[in-house]
Amino acid sequence: MNEMEKKLDEACNYRLEWSECRICGRRNRNRTYTVKEMMYGTREEFEYFVCDRCKCMQIANVPGNLGDYYRDDYYSFGKREETEFEGEGNTLVRILDVGCGTGKWLLELAHDGYGNLYGCDPFIDEDISYGNRIFIKKGEINEMDGQFDCIRFGDSFEHIANPLETLQYVKKLLTPGGRCQIRIPVFPNAAWSTFGVNWYQIDAPRHIFLHSKESMAYLCEKSGLKIEDITYDSDVSQFLISYLYMEGLCLNKIQELLDTVFCLNGNGLAAFEKAVKESNEKGYGDHAVFTIIHA
């Protein structure tokens, strides 16, 4: 057994412990794993288990101080822009971005001419508005009013502790002909099969749920929604960053990451890229876009 195989074997160790799935409600002796915080490199340990029925991986106990794990430099909390837009913008389409941070995606839409843009995020410091086009509320989806033609979760749904209640609000807020797009890491996947608990998108403890196709279908059915389409769009980071985690590097040490990447030969990167393409084609990538409509 080579060094990488030994590390993978260690990373895949699990215990069978009793736990109750917070998605489907099944109680069972589930596979339980110890996962380290690696974005900032604290290496604090958290327990995650995989439901044997709906296949959702989830943190066993959500920290009471979860907000402390979102530092000011967290990627969605970028610097607020001081900006102006020409004209009123297209107000025919009403868009809501849930978990939008300081509104990077909404700003892109505003610059493209959209003008009826809303967001919400519980971890920003205060409400934000950009001119007369973008309005972001410090809060969650249950505090939003009106109806929206498009509701988006851009890598935010996995951070939400009450996914069923959240989708019930999506059903309430979504216009009859509207669509909800949920972009999330998904489990199981090729990166997990290769790197185990070093799969970087577990992102303990910020990612509360790593949903499966089964858990998403269950939640949608319970909410009166339907999955119209699933598109797998994982990229090379599912293997590359997971590999770096296995080597002991944390995500915020950018220079170390870059140095390691440049030390990989071209064949290594090409192999990762080939594996990404194959995993997406087989529906086994680590990231997907769920398009959801009224049932």
Q: Which residues contact 242 (CB under 8 A, 6 or more apart)?
A: 191, 194, 195, 198, 199, 200
Percent pLDDT > 90 in the chain is: 72
Burial of 184 (0-12, 13-18, 19+ CB in 10 A): buried
Q: Supply the pLDDT for residue 257.
A: 65
pLDDT tens figures, 34-93: 999 999 999 999 999 999 999 999 999 999 999 899 887 665 555 555 566 666 667 789
pLDDT tens figures, 111-142: 889 989 999 999 898 999 998 899 999 999 99
Q: What is the pTM of this model?
A: 0.90
Mean pLDDT of the region 172-177? 96
At residue 282 the predicted structure's pLDDT band, cuts being 50, 70 and 90, is: very high
Q: Which of 1-15, 48-62, 241-255 has the lowest mean pLDDT?
A: 1-15
DSSP for residue 283: T
User: Domain spans of the chain?
Assistant: 3-67+184-226+243-286
